[in-house]
Amino acid sequence: LPLGAIVNVDDFEKVAQSYLTPTGWAYYSSGAEDELSLTDSRRLFRKIAFRPRVLRRVEPVSAATKILGLESSLPLYISPTGLGRYAYKDAESVIARAAGHEGLIYCMPTTAAHEAVFNARTSSDQPLFFQLYANRDRQKTQVLLRKMEKLGAAAIFLTVDSPVLGRRERDDRVKVADGELLSTGVAKASSAGLLNPLLTWEDVDWIRRDTNIPIVIKGIQTVEDAILAHKHGVHGIVLSNHGGRSLDTAQSPILTLLEIRKHAPHLLSNETRGKFQVFIDGGIRRGTDVLKALALGASAVGVGRPFLYALTAGYGERGVRRLVEMLRTEIETNMALMGAVCIDELVSEMINSERAERD
């Protein structure tokens, strides 16, 4: 399919499904167990409605914003995803380069070829975030932190929603077919080695003390933990259930955001935002999804799978840039239709979340 024939984010998913090997497709697209958390995020975004304002002079529109104090051309960053090579050679470097061209920030995963990704930037002042799986062995984590300081990572996203690997059965079925799963159900080689079931808030404090790089906790799923994260002095949190890949039936991140609005609204206030930002990811596929999250108080959103899908079918960097351009058009067009010319004008009065809350 020529890129010009792709008109929305879901089109890339269809292309990816037909292009990827069964192994690659299962790894990227699957969620845990019954995939209820995976599908719920998209379903709930659909249940949230806008209350658009009219007669407001909506030209020109700008969706530019700051993420952790850094310029971003959209209120969106690229979420970390492992094993990009199923989609494209040197996927992480290609994504980093496309992000630089589009004025977006990429959060590279622990598993990326770190130096190569930094070298792929369009300029030496292009910021990159680094996603960290903190190892059981603190020394290994320390080596990574020193490396990130040297390379100049702009933030560390510490992933906390996966102390153990979620049970993704579609992935397991392919592995059985490929002979990669032992009869005990244990994978012969698995990324579980990266994960750390012993991680606690004490490690968060330790990492904060060990480095000057801003820390964001990725994978907060309740208002209680959002409050704790703020108390522990980190620079931000990502409301995330790992794209539905960890605990199945964990509540959708948009419900966590609504919980915070209700029980700890100070975490979303303009005063707090200077020091502590709330991000959200999972199931964001439309400009309108981005605008809903922002109006409800998120500072920016993360998008994961679509970037993998946009790399497939030989599209590479062109596919990623096309994806960003489509999201840019959707975000800016729909801001104008809502009566907002800048990100600050997206406010909670523009949202009707009754159906999502009653659901």
The correct pick among 79, 93, 141, 312 for binding ligand FNR (CB under 6 A) is 79
Placement of tokens 């502590």 in the chain: 276
User: Which residues make beta-bridge pairs with 277?
Assistant: 236
Residue 184 is classified by DSSP as T
In the annotation, is 77 catalytic? no
Q: Within positions 312 to 341, which residues make up the interface with ligand FNR, using CB under 6 A?
A: none
Q: Which two tokens stand for residue 211?
A: 């480095």
Relative to beta strand 65-67, strand 70-72 is antiparallel
Q: What is the closest distance, in whole angstroms, from the C-beta atom of residue 93 to ligand FNR in the complex?
A: 16
Nearest to 160 by CA among 224, 106, 111, 216: 216
Binding mask 207-246 for ligand FNR (x = CB under 6 A): -----------x---------------------x-xx-x-
Q: What is the closest distance, in whole angstroms, from the C-beta atom of residue 166 to ligand FNR in the complex?
A: 10
Q: What is the closest distance, in whole angstroms, from the C-beta atom of residue 290 to ligand FNR in the complex?
A: 11
In the annotation, is 161 catalytic? yes
Q: Which amino acid is at 223?
A: V
Binding mask 128-167 for ligand FNR (x = CB under 6 A): ---x---------------------------x--------
Alpha helices in 55-110 (DSSP H): 91-102
Burial class (CB in 10 A: 0-12, 13-18, 19+), 57: exposed
If the CB atoms of residues 114 and 242 are measured against ligand FNR, the closer one turns out to be 242
Question: Residues 157, 158, 160, CA angle at the centre, nearest 5°?
Answer: 135
For ligand FNR, which stretch binds (CB under 6 A), given 62-70, 90-98, 139-147, 282-290?
282-290
Cβ-contact 175, 148 below 8 angstroms? no
Q: Within positions 162 to 201, which residues make up the interface with ligand FNR, using CB under 6 A?
A: none
If the CB atoms of residues 109 and 127 are measured against ligand FNR, the closer one turns out to be 109
The correct pick among 75, 82, 319, 339 for binding ligand FNR (CB under 6 A) is 82
What gap in Å lies between CA 33 and CA 168, rounded to an integer?
A: 6
Cβ-contact 343, 301 below 8 angstroms? no
State the catalytic residues: 133, 161, 242
Residue numbers at the binding site for ligand FNR (CB under 6 A): 27-28, 79-82, 109, 111, 131, 159, 218, 240, 242-243, 245, 281-284, 302-305
